[in-house]
Amino acid sequence: MCDLALVQPKGVHHLFGVRDMLIRDYDDELDRNNIRVCLIELQEFERRIDPRMPPGEEIADAYIAEMKQNCCEYLGKIFVAYDNGEIAGYVTLLSKLTSDDIDDGNLEHGLITDLVVRKMYRGHGIGRSLISAAETFAKANNVRWLRLSVLARNTVARNLYTSSGFSELYVDYEKDLNNHSISGV
C-alpha cells in the first residue's frame, strides 16, 4: 500500500464564515477513527433508503482500506472537515480514472466516491466546501470531467450536487421481480 502523504502534499483550508471550519488533508493516524464514525453514520442513513445495504459497523474497516488503496491507485485525495476539533465530514476524490465503458471512449475523469457531512453539521455549507476542495485538487491534476453517484431518493444530496453545478449523466433503474408481475409471462 502506498503512503498517502507521498501522493498528497499537505494542505489546510480555514473556512471562516462557515462555522470557522477547518478542511485539511486526511492523516491516517489522526483521522481514521473519525472517518469511520462518518462512514458508519452515512451507511446507516443510506440503509433507511435501501435496507439491503449492510450495516456500517460491518463494512467500515474494509471500506476505509479500499478507499485508501483507491486513492493510491487513482491519484486520489481525502479531505476532512473539522468544527472545533470535531469531525464534521469528509470527501474522497479519485482524480485519474478512465471509463471501462467502450461507448465512453476511454474518457478520463475524476470521481467523488464519498461525500459525508454528519447530521449535526448539515445545512452550514460544509458539503459545498468539501466539494470545492475536491474540485480544486481535481483541477490542479488536469481533470476536466468530475463525476459522482447518489442514491435517487437522497434528495438533499441531489439538490446539493445540482446547485454545485453537477448534472445528471446516467440514471439507473431497478425492479424487484419478486414483487411485480411481468406482463406476457
Asked whether residue 106 is assigned to any structural domain, the reply reads yes
pLDDT of residue 84: 87
Asked if residue 19 is part of any domain, the answer here is yes
What span, in angstroms and rounded, lies between the C-alpha atoms of 128 and 135?
10
- Is 90 within the bounds of a domain? yes
CATH number at residue 147: 3.40.630.30
| Mean per-residue pLDDT over the chain, rounded | 87
pLDDT at residue 12 is higher than 80: no
Q: Looking at the domain assignment, is residue 140 inside a domain?
A: yes
| Structure confidence by residue, pLDDT tens digits, 106-143 | 788 999 999 999 999 999 999 999 999 999 999 999 99
**Would residue 173 count as lying in a domain?**
no
Residue range 81-114, pLDDT digits in tens: 999 889 999 999 999 888 777 877 778 899 999 9
Domain presence at residue 171: no
Positive or negative, the CA dihedral 171, 177, 179, 183 is positive
Domain containing 108: what range? 4-163
Instruction: Mean pLDDT check: name the lowest of 57-61, 75-79, 135-139, 171-175.
Output: 171-175
pLDDT given for residue 99 in this prediction:
79
What pLDDT, on the 0 to 100 scale, is given for residue 5? Answer: 42
111 is a domain residue: yes
Residues 6+ apart with CB under 8 A from 22: 12, 13, 14, 15, 81, 82, 83
Return d(Cα 1, Cα 19) in angstroms, integer: 36
Give the pLDDT of residue 107. 84
Percent of the chain with pLDDT over 70: 86
Q: Are the CB atoms for 151 and 49 separated by under 8 Å?
A: yes
Q: What is the total count of domains within the chain?
A: 1
Residue 52 falls inside a structural domain: yes
